[in-house]
Each structure stands twice: as structure tokens, then as C-alpha cells.
């Protein structure tokens, strides 16, 4: 099954490139995405029952944590495939539509493939290769429109992430070197599940420096401040479905890379040291994003900075540590991916209807496009962390972890930032949703597919705000155990003492 997961996007992508019919490419892509999503669910249910799955001599190795990120990737890519059908047609030049669509779906599938590889591989080297490959392919997507600004964004994205990723390579090398000092038969392997077993015997000094390089390297990709500078550019210039993918999945994949090393380093280093590093990056990202959100004019840049903010919250959640902090962070990964994709979809619809990304010129969305307008309102309130939506729950979990772990100052900074971010997002989004629309703007939704994609995302956003299904809870619990390194600490017991 894992082989299928890698094969399907590859085959679909190549077919899309060669079939010169846009409609066929769209449907093919949708088919592939739904197949992959189905497989990911099967894989996930399999994993949560017991053993991790492995393939290709252990180069592919999926445990609950990897399975969760795989699920996230494929859930989002399904939603994005649906949205792309409606959106790309409208946003592309009509003349050469079929060719562009073919190319777009080719890149999109390869992009998804590299992300699948990143979260399913059991090898730190392949992890690096696939994350580097995500940069390369998504660069092509960021520069897809080939305009001045998109070229600029693509170049910056490419160079900055390449620098970051080079550091990550160095960090990986150092980790490998450290693991070679372990006098055991696991020489010449970069498989993290094997290194993890003997991780307590790594040289601490080396591991420390190696983790710093990894954190800077993958942190650049994950959008931690101050390495985040490519993020608003790339997110705002990419085609909107790709922005959603970048923000919802790619950042998380890089985070997944950090987590893998965090798990290893956590066994031989002081946990407080690692947590403080993550917490520092988290708070820095959050605070910087806060001020940029407040006076932002471009809708997609606003969302990009909001991604920065949420990555900061996730990093802080892991940094706070403890069952609740990590649980909250993982939950937040899912929540943010859902809500941010929704918001990007909405922004795409709005920018096509109003022919602008400048928020000052978008008004009265609930009147011109009732469904998109509603999604805009609900999505932005969810994004701003208002109950009964899902982000509130995970933010609360993270804040609770922060207070109970004694990081009062950090938690208060997060709280203040959240209020300011709330002001920024709500101010902008309500101004767009309400008031009377400018004259000359057409009425009605763009396309049924875009509405479908929005509604698919809205359902879990609302449900997860008041209810976490058992199977998700299960995955989170197992992932938390993997991250915190505790063997059998079942969350239920942990929480029952809290109530």
C-alpha cells in the first residue's frame, strides 16, 4: 500500500503532463488524490492498531506520527485538488489553458509526492532529499504565473530555503557522525527508528550543534522567524491552491523533520534545552507575525503571516512540553492546516471576483458571494481562535500546558499576541465580508467546485471545536508518546487527573 502511495502521484502527474486535455487532467488528479487519501486512511487505521508499517528495506517507515502527517497531507491535497478544478481555470490565461493546466497538475502531483515521501520515509537522508525536493518543485509552482512579483518570490524562496536546507544537510551529517560513534551494528544507516533506539549514547556536544543546524535548516522551511522572510512572498505569489498547500502542509512537513530530530536529540540532551530553543523560535515567530498582521493590506500576505503566527504557536506548544502541550501542538497542526486552507480558498474566490488582493477594495462579500462570505467569516473567526471552532481548543490546550509548565511569561506573551492578531484578522475580514460591495462587482459564486472545497473543510473545523473523534484521539495519543518518548503514557489517564 505504501508503494501505491508513492506511485499514484507519480503516475498521475506524468499522465497530466502528457494528456493535453485540461478537463481530463483535472479529473485524473482528483481521482488520484481521492485514491491516495483512501489509502492513507487504511494505512492509518492499520498503524494505530499496533505495529508501524515499513517497506523498501526500511527506507519507508510509517509510525503513528508519520501516519498523522501523511493523513494531513493527503486530506489537504484532496481538498486542494477539488479546489484547483474550480480555481485554476478562472485564474489562468484562457488561450493556452490545457497546456498550463497539464503542467500545473504535473508539478502539483510531484509536490505532493515529495511531501508524502518526506513524512513516510524512515531515513534521515531521504527525509532531507525529499524536503529539498519539495523546495525545488514548489519553486516552479510559486513562479507559475511568471510575472515580476512571482519570479521575485520564487527566487527568494528558492535561495533562502536552499541555504536553510544546506544547514539541515550539515546537521544531518553531524547526526550521522554522532551515530557512528556508537559501537554497534547500526553503522552506515541513517534510519531514524534505529538511531532513536540508541540515541542516549550520542555525543551530547555534537548532538547539540547538530540540532541547532537542523533547527535553523528545517526551521527556515517551517517558517520560524527570523528565517521566515520567504514565506509571505511565496505564499502570496503562488497560485492560491498551492498557497494553501504550502501553508497547510509544507510547513508542517518541515516541522515533521524537526520533530524527528527532536525525538532523537531529546534522548541524549536535556529536554529543557531543546524546549527552550523551540519556545524561543515560537515566540519570535508569533510576535513578529502579530505586528505584520495588524497593518497588512494584501489578503494573501495576511494569511501567510498568520501561518507564521500559527507555526509559532505550534513550536511553543512543543516547547512547553508535557502531554497536553504536545497533544495541543499536533492538534493545532491539523486545525491550522484545515482553517488556513479554507481561508486561502476563500481568498482565491474573493480575488477572482474582485480582481484584487488588496483588502481595502474587497467589501460586502456576504452579499456578492453568500457562501464564500460566510466561509470567510467563520474561517477568520476560527483562525482568530474563537470557540466553538477547532483552533480555540488547541490553543487552549497549548496555553494550559504553558501555564502548568511554569512558562507564565511566554504564555502571557502568546495571549497578548493572540488578542492583537484577533484584532487584525477580524478587522480585515469583517470589513471584507460586510459593508456594501463596490459597484461593478458581479454577483454569485465562481464555481461549484470551489464552494464544495470550502464546505468540505468547514465541516471538520466546526466539529473539531467541540468533539475529537476517537480515532483522531488515538493517533494523537500515540504520536505524543512517540514525541515525548514515553512508552505507555496513555493520555486518558493524564487528562483524568486534570479534570
Partner 1 sequence: MLENSSIGVYAIDRLALGMLGAVIIMVLCNRLAALVYVYAFQSLLLAAIAFFASSGLHAHHLIWMVYLIIIVKVLGIPYMLLRLIDTLTIKREVEPYVKWPISLLAASGLVILAYYIQRDILELHEGVVFNHCLSTSLAVILIGLFLMITRKKAITQMVGLLTMENGVFLGAIVLTSGMPMVIELGMSFDVLVGILIMGVFTFRIKETFASIDTSKLNSLRG
Partner 2 sequence: MGSKESFILMNLLLLLGTFSGLILRGSPRICSYVSSAFTALAAVCGLFLSGNILSTGKAFSFNLPGLIPWVDFAFFLDNVAAFFLLIISLLTLAISIYSIGYNEEHYHKRDVGLLCIGINLFILSMIGVVTANSAMIFLIFWETMTLVSYFLVVYEYEKEESVSAGFIYILMAHAGTAFILTAFLLLYRHSGSLDFTAFRTSAGDLPGGLKDLLFVFFFIGFGIKAGIVPLHIWLPKAHPAAPSNVSALMSGVMIKVAVYGLIRMVMDVLGGGSMWWGGVILVVASVSAVFGILYALVENDIKKLLAYSSIENIGIILMGVGASMVFSSVGLHGPALIALTAGLLHALNHALFKGLLFLSAGSVVYSSHARNIEELGGLIKKMPWTALFFLTGAVSICGLPPFNGFVSEWFTFQGLLMGFGALEGGSKVFLPMVAIVLCLSSALAAACFVKAFGITFLAMPRSEHARHALEVPLFMRLGMGILAVLCLLLGVLPQYILGPIGNVASTLIHAEVYVGINGVSSDLFTLAPLKLNLSSFSPQGVFLLLLTLMGGLLLILGIPYKKTVLGETWGCGIPALLPKMEYTATAFSKPFMIIFRDIYDITEDVEKIASPTPLQPHFVRITRYRASVGHIFDRYFYELILQAVMAVSSRMQVIQTGSMHLYLLYIFVTLIVLLFWAR
Q: What is the Cα–Cα distance from 65 to 482, expressed in whole angstroms?
A: 7
Q: Which of 184, 191, 190, 84 has the alpha carbon at shortest distance from 144?
A: 84
Binding to partner 1 in span 113-152, by CB under 8 A: 123, 125-126, 128-129, 132-133, 135-136, 139-140, 143, 146-149, 151-152
List helix spans (H) across 21-63. Answer: 22-49
**Dihedral, CA of residue 370, residue 376, residue 381 and residue 387, to nearest 10:** 60
Q: Which of 216, 299, 314, 454: binder of partner 2 (CB under 8 A)?
A: 216
Q: Is 24 exposed, middle or buried (0-12, 13-18, 19+ CB in 10 A)?
A: middle
Binding residue (CB under 8 A) for partner 1 from 47, 174, 214, 446: 174
- Comparing CB distances to partner 2, the nearer of 173 and 435 is 435
220 binds, among partner 1, partner 2, none (CB under 5 to 8 A by kind): partner 2
Using the rule CB under 8 A, is 325 a contact of partner 1?
no
Part of the chain binding partner 1 (CB under 8 A), chosen from 201-209, 254-262, 375-383, 447-455: 201-209
Q: Which is nearer to partner 2, 125 or 388 (CB)?
A: 388
Question: Per CB under 8 A, does 176 bind partner 1?
Answer: yes
The H helix count followed by the E strand count for the chain is 21, 2
- Per CB under 8 A, contacts with partner 1 among 20-79 are 59
Residue 306 grid coordinates? 498568520
Nearest to 159 by CA among 93, 240, 234, 213: 234
* Residue selected from 153, 338, 433, 456 as contacting partner 1 according to rule CB under 8 A: 153
Q: Does 407 bind partner 2 (CB under 8 A)?
A: no
Q: Among candidates 196, 179, 199, which has minimal Cα distance to 188?
A: 179
Q: Minimum distance between the CB of residue 151 and partner 2, rounded to whole angstroms?
A: 13
**Interaction of residue 412 with partner 2, rule CB under 8 A:** yes
- Which parts of 225-254 interact with partner 1 (CB under 8 A)? 232-233, 236-237
* Partner that binds at residue 393, options partner 1, partner 2, none, CB closer than 5 to 8 Å by kind: partner 2
**Binding partner of residue 140 among partner 2, partner 1, none, CB cut-off 5 to 8 Å per kind:** partner 1
The alpha-helical segments, DSSP class H, found in 269-407 are 271-294, 299-320, 322-354, 365-368, 370-383, 390-404
Residues 423-452 that bind partner 1 (CB under 8 A): none
Question: Per-residue x/- marks for partner 2, 64-103, CB under 8 A?
Answer: ----------------------------------------
Q: CA 373 from chain center: how many Å?
A: 24
**Closest approach of partner 2 to the CB of residue 191, in Å:** 26
**431 in contact with partner 2 (CB under 8 A):** yes
Distance in angstroms (rounded) separating the CA atoms of residues 12 and 331 = 31
**Smallest gap from residue 349 Cβ to partner 2 (A):** 18
Cα 390 to Cα 332: distance, rounded to the nearest angstrom:
8
Length of the chain: 499
User: How far, in Å, CA of 126 to CA of 129, rounded?
Assistant: 5
Q: Indicate whether 295 belongs to the interface with partner 2 (CB under 8 A).
A: yes
Q: Which is nearer to partner 1, 40 or 189 (CB)?
A: 189
Is-contact 33 68, C-beta < 8 A? no
| CB of residue 199 to partner 2, shortest distance in Å | 18
Nearest distance from C-beta of residue 448 to partner 1, angstroms: 33
Cell of 399: 496555553
**What cell numbers appear for 34 in the block?**
481521492
234 binds partner 2 (CB under 8 A): no
Instruction: Give the chain's end-to-end CA distance (angstroms, integer).
Output: 41
**Which of partner 2, partner 1, none sits in contact with 136, Cβ below 5 to 8 A by type?**
partner 1
Site size toward partner 1 (CB under 8 A) is 51
User: Residues 6 or more apart from 127 whose CB is under 8 A from it?
Assistant: 118, 121, 172, 192, 257, 260
Q: Percent helix, strand and coil across the chain, each rounded to 5?
A: 80, 0, 20
CA distance 342 to 363: 19
188 binds partner 1 (CB under 8 A): yes
Residue with cell 494523537: 476
Q: Which of residues 249-268 bind partner 2 (CB under 8 A)?
A: none
Binding site for partner 1 (CB under 8 A): 59, 123, 125-126, 128-129, 132-133, 135-136, 139-140, 143, 146-149, 151-156, 158-159, 162-163, 166-167, 169-170, 173-174, 176-177, 180, 188-190, 205-206, 209, 232-233, 236-237, 292, 295-297, 301
Amino acid at each position: 500500500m505504501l508503494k501505491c502511495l508513492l506511485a499514484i502521484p507519480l503516475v498521475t502527474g506524468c499522465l497530466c503532463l502528457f494528456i493535453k486535455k485540461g478537463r481530463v487532467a483535472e479529473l485524473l488528479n482528483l481521482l488520484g488524490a481521492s485514491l491516495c487519501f483512501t489509502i492513507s486512511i487504511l494505512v492509518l487505521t492499520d498503524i494505530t492498531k499496533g505495529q508501524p508499517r515499513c517497506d523498501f528495506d526500511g527506507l519507508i517507515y510509517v509510525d503513528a506520527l508519520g501516519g498523522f502527517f501523511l493523513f494531513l497531507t493527503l486530506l489537504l491535497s484532496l481538498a486542494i485538488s477539488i479546489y484547483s478544478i474550480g480555481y485554476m481555470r478562472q485564474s489562468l490565461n484562457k488561450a493556452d489553458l490545457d497546456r498550463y493546466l497539464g503542467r500545473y497538475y504535473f508539478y502539483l502531483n510531484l509536490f505532493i509526492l515529495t511531501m508524502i515521501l518526506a513524512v513516510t520515509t524512515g531515513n534521515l537522508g531521504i527525509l532531507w532529499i525529499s524536503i529539498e525536493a519539495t523546495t525545488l518543485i514548489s519553486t516552479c509552482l510559486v513562479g507559475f504565473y511568471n510575472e515580476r512579483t512571482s519570479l521575485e518570490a520564487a527566487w527568494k524562496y528558492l535561495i533562502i530555503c536552499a541555504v536553510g536546507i544546506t544547514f539541515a544537510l550539515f546537521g544531518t551529517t553531524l547526526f550521522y557522525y554522532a551515530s557512528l560513534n556508537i559501537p554497534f551494528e547500526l553503522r552506515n544507516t541513517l534510519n531514524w527508528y534505529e538511531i532513536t533506539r540508541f540515541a542516549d549514547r550520542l555525543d551530547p556536544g555534537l548532538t547539540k550543534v547538530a540540532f541547532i543546524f537542523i533547527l535553523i535548516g528545517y526551521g527556515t522551511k517551517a517558517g520560524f522567524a527570523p528565517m521566515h522572510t520567504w514565506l509571505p512572498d511565496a505564499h502570496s505569489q503562488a497560485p492560491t491552491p498551492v498557497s494553501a498547500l504550502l501553508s497547510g502542509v509544507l510547513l508542517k512537513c518541515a516541522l515533521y523533520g524537526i520533530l524527528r530530530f527532536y525525538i532523537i536529540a531529546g534522548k541524549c540532551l536535556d529536554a529543557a534545552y531543546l524546549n527552550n530553543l523551540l519556545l524561543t523560535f515560537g515566540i519570535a515567530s508569533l510576535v513578529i507575525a502579530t505586528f505584520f498582521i495588524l497593518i497588512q493590506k494584501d489578503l494573501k500576505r495576511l494569511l501567510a503571516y498568520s501561518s507564521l503566527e500559527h507555526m509559532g504557536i505550534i513550536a511553543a506548544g512543543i516547547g512547553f512540553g508535557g502531554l497536553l502541550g504536545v497533544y495541543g501542538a499536533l492538534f493545532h497542526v491539523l486545525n491550522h492546516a484545515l482553517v488556513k486552507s479554507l481561508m486561502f480558498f476563500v481568498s482565491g474566490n474573493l480575488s477572482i471576483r474582485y480582481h484584487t488582493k488588496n483588502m481595502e477594495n474587497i467589501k460586502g462579500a456576504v452579499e456578492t458571494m453568500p457562501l464564500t462570505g460566510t466561509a470567510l467569516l467563520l474561517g477568520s473567526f476560527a483562525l482568530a481562535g474563537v470557540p466553538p471552532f477547532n483552533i480555540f481548543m488547541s490553543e487552549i490546550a497549548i496555553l494550559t500546558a504553558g501555564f502548568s509548565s511554569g512558562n507564565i511569561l511566554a504564555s502571557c506573551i502568546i495571549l497578548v499576541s493572540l488578542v492583537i492578531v484577533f484584532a487584525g484578522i477580524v478587522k480585515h475580514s469583517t470589513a471584507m465580508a460586510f459593508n456594501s460591495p463596490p459597484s461593478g462587482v458581479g454577483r454569485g459564486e465562481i464555481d461549484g467546485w470551489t464552494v464544495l472545497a470550502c464546505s468540505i473543510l468547514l465541516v471538520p473545523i466546526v466539529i473539531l471545536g467541540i468533539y475529537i473523534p476517537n480515532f483522531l484521539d488515538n493517533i494523537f495519543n500515540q504520536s505524543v508518546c512517540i514525541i515525548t518518548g514515553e512508552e505507555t503514557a496513555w493520555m486518558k489517564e493524564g487528562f483524568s487527573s486534570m479534570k
